[in-house]
């Protein structure tokens, strides 16, 4: 997790298109040229790109469709035409696909919304041409935004059409209640962004992003769909004197979501006792919890990772926030 200020961080190599796997553009193109019939899903599975984080998918898709592979044919058993191996069921489905009109489907992303401490959060949906070349932009997209408070109550609804080379910028912090107690740093809610293309085309740069502006810096993260119920883990280095760490949960279900959160989970050998907390999130509601350690526990843990484990009973999203003690600078990232 990083914050952004007036001094930009060191840049990654220009030809690195997936930082998680270290995949470079020349290696990606070589694999496409060696396997001209490989589908986009196949190249993702082969390289591992886009598996742990999907931020690189737009670039990968762009280079997939723009890399010329005509005239190349794979060799060996892989060169057998799929048409000769299709089952009757597959042929029927292909016939239906070929004769059915294209129907746009709805893409859904959700974000946590926080308010308080002088924060100003925005939702962005940009429909720009790829690499800002002015040629390849997505078609116009219908955007529907729904903002809910922590109790799941709808606070705001809005619909827009984002045309090519245009963008939606929607402030959302002020739309949720900002009342906090001495123990609460932020109010929390959620926002759902639904996208639907007005005609056939590709998604381009339309993946929603959220931007959080604090007093001393800003941060952003892309939207996601929901995670399945079950157990997940996250770990971080936490120094309470220097930073504050928060975790948020958004309930995607129409019923309450039971969350069991435990931390720190990897310090039995130094005598620190884990906390075991439970939360019941209302339907479509949200919560945010500050990871709290005593000064003695922090000194015992020192530079060890603070491991968190949670179990959710329904579909959800979770995000990690890291802030300076005075909340003047903030960063956000989705959990794995």
Of the pLDDT bands very low, low, confident and very high (cuts 50, 70, 90), residue 3 is: very low
| Confidence band for 289, pLDDT divided at 50, 70 and 90 | very high
Q: How confident is the model at residue 195 (pLDDT cuts 50, 70, 90)?
A: very high
> Quick one: pLDDT at residue 143?
96
Spatial contact of 109 and 192, defined as CB atoms under 8 Å apart: yes
- Per cent of the chain over pLDDT 90 is 43
Lowest mean pLDDT among 24-38, 105-119, 209-223, 265-279: 265-279
Write out pLDDT tens, residues 241-256: 888 999 999 999 999 9
* Model pLDDT, residue 258: 96
Q: Domains in the chain, ordered, with CATH?
A: 16-99 (1.10.10.1100), 107-208 (2.60.290), 230-334 (2.60.290)
Does residue 263 register a pLDDT over 50?
Answer: yes
**Main-chain phi, psi angles of 284, to 5 degrees:** 60, 20
Write down the pLDDT at residue 64. 86
Rounded (10°) CA dihedral 9, 11, 16, 20: -10
Both structure tokens of 52: 């742990």
Record the tokens describing residue 289, joined without a space. Answer: 């919890």
- What is the C-alpha to C-alpha distance for residues 323 and 43, in angstroms, rounded to an integer? 38
Q: Is the pLDDT of residue 215 over 90?
A: yes
Please state, rounded to an integer, the average pLDDT across all residues of the chain. Answer: 84
What is the structure's pLDDT at 5?
38
pLDDT for 35 beyond 90: no
Band of residue 73 on the pLDDT scale cut at 50, 70, 90 = very low
Q: Tell me the mean pLDDT in the region 39-44.
A: 86
User: Distance from CA of residue 285 to its chain's centroid?
Assistant: 18
Q: Which of 41-45, 283-287, 288-292 is predicted with the least confidence, judged by mean pLDDT? A: 41-45
pLDDT at 63: 86
Give the CA count within 13 Å in the CB-facing half-sphere of 58: 18
- Prediction pTM value: 0.70
Torsion, Cα of 126, 64, 221, 331 (10° steps): -130
Q: Which helix (H) or strand (E) holds 261?
A: strand 257-263
């Amino acid at each position: 997790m990083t914050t952004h200020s007036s001094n930009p961080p060191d840049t990654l190599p220009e030809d690195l298109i997936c930082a998680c796997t270290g995949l470079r553009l020349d290696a990606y193109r070589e694999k496409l040229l060696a396997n001209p019939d490989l589908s986009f899903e196949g190249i993702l599975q082969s390289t591992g790109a886009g598996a742990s984080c999907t931020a690189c998918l737009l670039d990968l898709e762009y280079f997939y469709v723009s890399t010329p592979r005509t005239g190349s044919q794979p060799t060996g058993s892989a060169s057998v035409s799929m048409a000769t191996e299709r089952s009757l069921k597959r042929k029927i489905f292909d016939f239906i696909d070929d004769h059915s009109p294209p129907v746009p489907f709805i893409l859904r992303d959700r974000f946590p919304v926080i308010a308080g401490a002088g924060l100003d959060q925005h939702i962005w949906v940009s429909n720009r041409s790829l690499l800002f070349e002015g040629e390849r932009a997505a078609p116009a997209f219908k955007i529907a935004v729904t903002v809910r408070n922590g109790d799941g109550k709808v606070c705001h609804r809005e619909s827009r059409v984002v045309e090519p080379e245009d963008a939606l910028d929607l402030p959302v912090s002020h739309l949720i209640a900002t009342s906090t107690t001495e123990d609460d740093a932020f109010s929390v809610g959620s926002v759902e962004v639904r996208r639907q293309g007005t005609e056939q085309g590709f998604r381009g740069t339309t993946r929603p992003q959220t931007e959080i502006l604090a007093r001393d810096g800003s941060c952003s993260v892309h939207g996601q769909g929901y995670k399945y119920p079950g157990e997940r883990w996250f770990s971080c280095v936490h120094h309470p004197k220097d930073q504050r760490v928060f975790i948020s949960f958004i309930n995607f279900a129409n019923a309450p979501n039971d969350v069991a959160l435990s931390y720190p989970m990897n310090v039995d050998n130094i005598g620190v006792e884990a906390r075991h907390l439970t939360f019941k999130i209302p339907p479509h509601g949200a919560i945010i919890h500050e990871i709290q350690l005593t000064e003695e526990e922090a000194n015992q843990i020192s530079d060890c990772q603070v491991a968190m484990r949670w179990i959710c009973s329904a579909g959800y999203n979770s995000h990690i926030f890291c802030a300076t003690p005075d909340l003047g600078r903030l960063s956000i990232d989705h959990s794995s």
